[in-house]
Structure 1
């Protein structure tokens, strides 16, 4: 191996925290991910977000943000919505449909940023800006849940093709081309 490839983390190393084995496992994110579970989790986000918007309850936006942060940091192990999706809802559809984990984790990061920003804006007395971010989150989560279109995954792919995200982060993603399927 060359010195360059020795420094580039493998996909599973990149999506886990650096450091000792136990710490890395604690902050691990699955790779691959069951797409059905991801879609159910997005559906739960849609429902909670719609309830928050209709009721005007900012605390629900905080709850949504906590869910995203938990999924980003720990995968589906701690988030109640993800546990429900992985353990109860997705298995009802049959065998898992596996997709790469790194783009899904990236999408969780975008959701965390949007929901945390929305919550901060709502608490800061800027409700229009906060609720606008939640509506954007509803649109993105609806696309994921209802038709399987993950906007965060698309952004991940664009960033990877432009070299901003190294190909080694998700070799399966880097090898994907619309012509190959």
Structure 2
């Protein structure tokens, strides 16, 4: 099956090769498009484990590390995130051939995770633990949907924002050019 030209720059792991003409700053903060769905789901599973551990231990400090992980993944995909690197380079390759999905919705989902995890950390640190741990519960639910059911809530929201015109058409075109055998 011939893959669209959008995938021509992707390597076997689903990472996009960066053209030499891109600036160092742009290369530093690039996000892969497409991404391997198995790596995204594995990363979500790691987030679930970290959040459940933080919740059970009532370790508010761990929420800052979870938020940092999301920030690193928003900034550059898995290349800066230990959880992302573990998922992409160790776990996902053992799950089978890459199943490619659009990158922009996944980055959007990571950004939502960043907002929710940072909110949880701030709330716990500010003395509102019930609200903070409730936000962690929302994060656990969303990451569990991704990890165990293959439903990316952030991607679903991204799609709805595209339909109402809040996501630019150029981003929408980039997402629609990704296809992979399922």
TM interval, short-chain normalised? 0.7 to 0.9
**Residue of 141, 144, 168 corresponding to 1:142:** 144
The answer to which of 161-170 and 129-138 deviates more is 161-170
**Residue of 51, 55, 58 corresponding to 1:56:** 58
Offset, 1:168: 1.0
Offset, 1:172: 5.0
Residues 29 and 75 in structure 2, CA contact (< 8 A), matched pair in contact too: yes
For structure 1, which runs of at least 5 residues remain unmatched after alignment?
Answer: 1-19
CA shift in 2, pair 1:163/1:38, >3 Å: same
The answer to which of 55-64 and 82-91 deviates more is 55-64
Task: Count how many residue pairs are aligned between Structure 1 and Structure 2.
Answer: 158
Note the alpha carbon deviations across 1:33-70, whole angstroms, 9 max, x for none.
00000000000000000011111001111111000000
**Residue of 105, 111, 114 corresponding to 2:113:** 111
Residues 157 and 173 in structure 1, CA contact (< 8 A), matched pair in contact too: no
State whether structure 2 residue 71 is matched by structure 1 residue 69. yes
Offset, 1:167: 2.0
**Residue of 133, 136, 149 corresponding to 2:135:** 133
For structure 2, which runs of at least 5 residues remain unmatched after alignment?
Answer: 1-21
Query: What is the alpha-carbon distance in structure 2 between the residues aligned to residue 128 and residue 82 of structure 1?
Result: 29
**TM-score of the aligned structures, taking structure 2 as reference length:** 0.83
**Residue of 170, 173, 176 corresponding to 2:172:** 170
Residues 52 and 140 in structure 2, CA contact (< 8 A), matched pair in contact too: yes
CA RMSD of aligned residues (A): 1.6
**Residue of 96, 99, 116 corresponding to 1:97:** 99
**TM-score of the aligned structures, taking structure 1 as reference length:** 0.84
Query: What is the alpha-carbon distance in structure 2 between the residues aligned to residue 43 and residue 174 of structure 1?
Result: 26
Query: What is the alpha-carbon distance in structure 1 between the residues aligned to residue 28 and residue 59 of structure 2?
Result: 32
Query: What is the alpha-carbon distance in structure 2 between the residues aligned to residue 94 and residue 143 of structure 1?
Result: 21
